[in-house]
Amino acid sequence: MSQFLVKEGVKNQIRKGEKLVTTHCCYCGMQCGMHIRVDEKNNKVVGVEPRYDWVLTRGKMCPKGVTAYQTIDHPDRIKTPLIKKNGKFVEATWDEALDLIESKYKGIQETYGKDAVGVYGGVSMTNEKCYLVGKYARVGLGTRYIDYNGRYCMSSAAGGFNKTLGMDRGSTLPWTELEHTDTFFMAGSNTAECHPTSIQWFWKAKDKGAKLIVADPRETATARVADVHLDLLPGTDAALANGIMHLLIKYDYVDHAYVQERCNNFEELKEMTAKFTPEYTSKLTGVAAEKIIKAAHIFGKSPRSVVMFARGAEQQTSGVDNVSLYTSMALLRGQIGKFASGVATFTGQGNGQGGREHGQKADALPGYRKIANPKDVEYISGIWGIKPEEMPKEGVSAYEMFHLMQNKTIRALHVICSNPVVSSPNINYVQDSLEKLDFLVVNDFFMSETAELADVVLPATTWAEDEGTTTNIEGRVIRIRKVVEPLGESKPDWEIMKLIADRLGKGKFFEYNEPREIFDELRLASKGGKADYYGVTYEKIDEQDGVFWPAPAEDHKGTPSVFQERFATEDGKANLAVCDFRGPSEVQSKEYPLWLTTGRVVFHYLSGNQTRRVDFLMEQCPEPFVEMHPELASQYQVENGERVKLSTPRGDMIAPVKITKAIRKDTMFVPYHWGKKLAVNQLTSPALDPFSRMPEFKVCAVKLEKLTK
Amino acid sequence: MNKIMYLEFERCIGCRACQAACRECGDHDAKERNYVEYVDFTESRQTFPMLCMQCKDPACARVCPANAIQITDEGVVLSAMEEKCIGCRNCTFGCPFGIPKFDFEKNKMYKCDMCYDRTRHDIAPMCASVCPSDAIRFIDFDEMQQLRRKRTQMNLVEGKKPQEGNKWDYVPEFFGVYTDQS
């Protein structure tokens, strides 16, 4: 099979002595297509070439994507296993590291039970690896305590979609249709910075006259050109969505035939939204009533609209409510399941979609099966070759695992593809929890802040050193190709899990020689589930530019648009959300009088463990900053560039001020990509959504102090 | 090569992928030759990209005392030739757009060459290839003309009509359809 795929008539620059390997970016959910340039003589990665014919991104890349290849052969790469001796890491052989892990895991599990060893996964890796993390925890280690960083990312979207639509596919439509949409309602998404290559589709639609409504406390690049910018207070999305639905009903923009035929709860929703008049909504959200009315009219009149949201709306204690309510807006307009219309969430992590489908979550098994459902347990046990009674019970969510480390229920932890001491909320507590562990193993290819705390660090490979598939922002399964051989002694995560399982006497459950064998098992494991990958094959992905799940049969071409006939709920009808406004968990007080919200910048990705090592990106954005309105700056007598102190009851940080009118006067913004003293997550609130257990990163009451000179 | 680099400032989202990509071009020595600036960050997040205009009669080449700046048959204004450049920096002062940069270590100027090793084979330059918002495009002359006509058309679709005081907003750039005397 060719490693360089290109459609007829498309020209790429191929330099002498070089070859191109066709793959996708390692960062966000857009999974932009790219070709990696490899020097044929020494087999080293030397650069990147645009993949003009990739259907979703058309050669376009953001600065992270352009420089992604620089992490592969980076001098900071961890090349051998490391064992901590007297507080210092010492290079070790794989055998030494595995011996230690084997004796520690066995010792702890014999003394304290199987559940004393936990697994903390991630979704910036292939479906094959994500699937195997779930199996490794339950079959290899036999522990119930497994969860993953997707809990901080997609769990509220998943919860909301499951509640309303009965199935959680991030987008109900393929994004190549977006250029035909008439109105976008975007809530809590700074898509120009977090998913830059999606902008081409929004701008294309705008060229044709599409309207844009953006709900965000900051005037982001999309909010700046929006027809209406709903500059809401952080944490008030539920009120806004109820307010818009109130107006949709009042002005009769409801698609009654669709609602009658395909939705439940309309009368209850009508009753609930009755009190959300523009004036009341305005009081709760801080958005002018005229803007809410204008937005409702634009949204209500559009024949084809897409409601989109991201972490801004989801990382709240009412994240699931927010998602359900925004989804209900699309349902009231009869949009879901039709051309160029529907509902979508912006997947933050590379494989945020696929990684949450196949059993890395505390309560889930492959194919969106549930561990609480005996039938699902029986099916998966059959695939894995264990007895159903051997299947561990449901565990707890990512942040709650740290409580269990504090009380010594979890005594050893294996972190795979994640950096929780930067990405979790309230990280001083998280760091303390990890330090209380008897034994910590971390797989990573750079020395992350979490890896620094480990007893054993195992060198993992980058995305370009292994084969596999990911599922992008649309629900399209795509192929990641191996570009070069693993650097040094590093090994792909699936091989590491296999080696450890083998040491624990579970080798027969992990007899894989290559990722394709894991994928074939995943296809079977997901067969019949909601996220059905049975019909997805590597060959089909190449043939038809990716395969949208569900693809339930071998000859099935995949399902680009879902819910065209019926929803995935038991009665086939969508459940309109009936949720009151609850408000964020923290309220402003005399001591903490301002709002703090967090997010990303275009130059960095997640905990920054990769992007903070790339020169170009660090030149553009070397440190976090506090974005604030000039009026707020004037009240506190601070100047642009001056260092200020922010504090909450959980922690404090010092960072320079960046003054702009493109943010609310009562809200400050700090990006979260840095660790230790530069981490805004020292301040963020660990309050959890009661349903999805998503922490409330996006809202906390904060104190601002000018530093004395 | 009858292609145009077409910039639409208001499409720019400030991601600076064009700058990262500029460094990736083979002859660019890992130094970017283009610019992305905020109009005024205190007021808004609006940014704009800036590239070499590849002038027909480039000031940079005119003021070069060493004839180091060559213009190709296609009209691309290249970086200074290493063996000719004397490092006087006249070009950096002469350019009305502030495009040429100066490498103080090598004592020579460098500037956008429209990724000549790509564009001469009809492959888009790196900046235009990656620009996620199509703020920078590498398109045919005819397509450029069509895009300009479309901009006026879109204003009509939106129901806006030029009025005294804002009519310049409706004029496709560089076309003197409206004048102060009208």
Asked if B1 contacts B120 with a C-beta cutoff of 8 angstroms, the reply is yes
The average confidence (pLDDT) of chain B is 86
B181 min Cα distance to partner chain A (Å): 32
CATH code at position A61: 3.30.200.210
Q: Is residue A582 included in any domain, yes or no?
A: no
Residue B59, domain CATH = 3.30.70.20
Residue A480 structure tokens: 């990641």
**What pLDDT sits at residue B167?**
52
Q: How many domains does chain A have?
A: 4
Residue A490 lies in a domain: yes
* Any domain includes A583: no
- pLDDT, mean over chain A: 97
Percent of chain B with pLDDT over 90: 67
pLDDT on residue B179: 34
pLDDT digits (tens, 9 = 90+) for B167-176: 555 544 433 3
Residue A318 · residue A582 · CB < 8 Å: yes
Q: Can you tell me the distance from the alpha carbon of A360 to that of A577, in angstroms, rounded to the nearest whole number?
A: 27
What is the band of B147 on the pLDDT scale with cuts at 50, 70, 90?
confident
Q: Are residues A294 and A235 in the same domain?
A: yes
Q: Answer yes or no: do A201 and A303 share one domain.
A: yes
* Residue where a domain terminates, one of A7, A40, A71: A71
A272 shares its domain with A380: no
Please enumerate residues of A whose Cβ is less than 8 A from a Cβ of B: 11-13, 15, 47-48, 50, 52, 59-63, 65-67, 192-193, 196-200, 203-204, 207, 209, 219-221, 224-225, 602-603, 616-617, 620, 630, 640, 658-662
| Two tokens, residue A391 | 């299947």
Query: Within this chain, do residues A308 and A402 fall inside the same structural domain, yes or no?
Result: no
Number of structural domains (chain B) is 1
If chain A, 709 residues long, is cut into consecutive pieces of 10 residues, what is the mean pLDDT of each piece?
87 96 97 97 96 97 98 97 97 98 98 98 97 98 97 96 97 97 97 97 91 96 94 97 98 98 98 98 97 96 97 97 98 97 96 95 96 97 97 97 98 98 98 98 98 98 97 97 97 98 97 98 97 97 96 96 97 98 95 98 97 98 98 97 97 98 97 98 98 97 93
In a domain, B150, yes or no: no
Ramachandran area for residue A84 (φ above 0: left; ψ -120 to 50: alpha; else beta): beta
The reply to whether A588 falls in a domain is no
Residue A331 lies in a domain: yes
Query: Are A388 and A286 found together in one domain?
Result: no
| CATH number of the domain residue A620 falls in | 2.40.40.20
Tokens standing for residue A698:
């996006």
> Is the Cβ of B157 closer than 8 Å to some Cβ of chain A?
yes
Give the pTM: 0.95
Tokens of B2: 């009858």
Supply the CATH number for residue A383's domain. Answer: 3.40.50.740
Task: State the ipTM, two decimals.
Answer: 0.95
Tens digit of each residue's pLDDT (9 = 90 or more) over A98-108 = 999 999 999 99
Is residue A7 domain-resident? no
Residue A107: phi and psi, rounded to 5, are: -60, -50
User: What local confidence, expressed as pLDDT, does residue B176 receive?
Assistant: 32
Tell whether B45 is within 8 A of chain A (Cβ). yes
Q: Is residue A76 part of a domain?
A: no
Query: Does B166 map to a domain?
Result: no
Both A313 and A279 in one domain: the answer is yes
Tokens at B73, concatenated? 């048959």
Domain range for residue B102? 54-111
Assess if residue B6 is contained within a domain. no
Model pLDDT, residue B182: 33
Q: Which one of B11, B23, B129 has the shortest CB-CB distance to A616?
A: B23
Question: What pLDDT was estimated at residue B160?
Answer: 58
Same structural domain for residues A212 and A334?
yes
* φ, ψ (nearest 5 deg) of residue A137: -65, -45
Mutation target vs B (from A198, A199, A614; most B CBs, 10 A cutoff): A199
Residue A354 inside a domain? The answer is no
Q: Which of residues 123-152 of B touch A (CB under 8 A)?
A: 123-124, 126, 129-134, 150
Question: B133, A220: Cβ pair inside 8 Å?
Answer: no
Q: What chain A residue is nearest to B11 in terms of C-alpha separation?
A: A203
Pair (A262, A336) in one structural domain: yes
Cα gap B87→A696, rounded to integer Å = 56
Reading the block at residue A387, the tokens are: 């007895």
Choosing from A315, A345, A375, the residue where a domain stops is: A345
DSSP string, A120-177: EE-SSS-HHHHHHHHHIIIIII--S-EEEGGGGTTHHHHHHHHHHHSS--SBSS-GGG
**A66 and A93 within one domain:** no
Residue A294: domain span: 158-345
Exposed, middle or buried by CB within 10 Å (0-12, 13-18, 19+), for A505?
A: exposed
Q: What pLDDT is recorded for position A404? A: 98
CATH of the domain at A269: 3.40.228.10
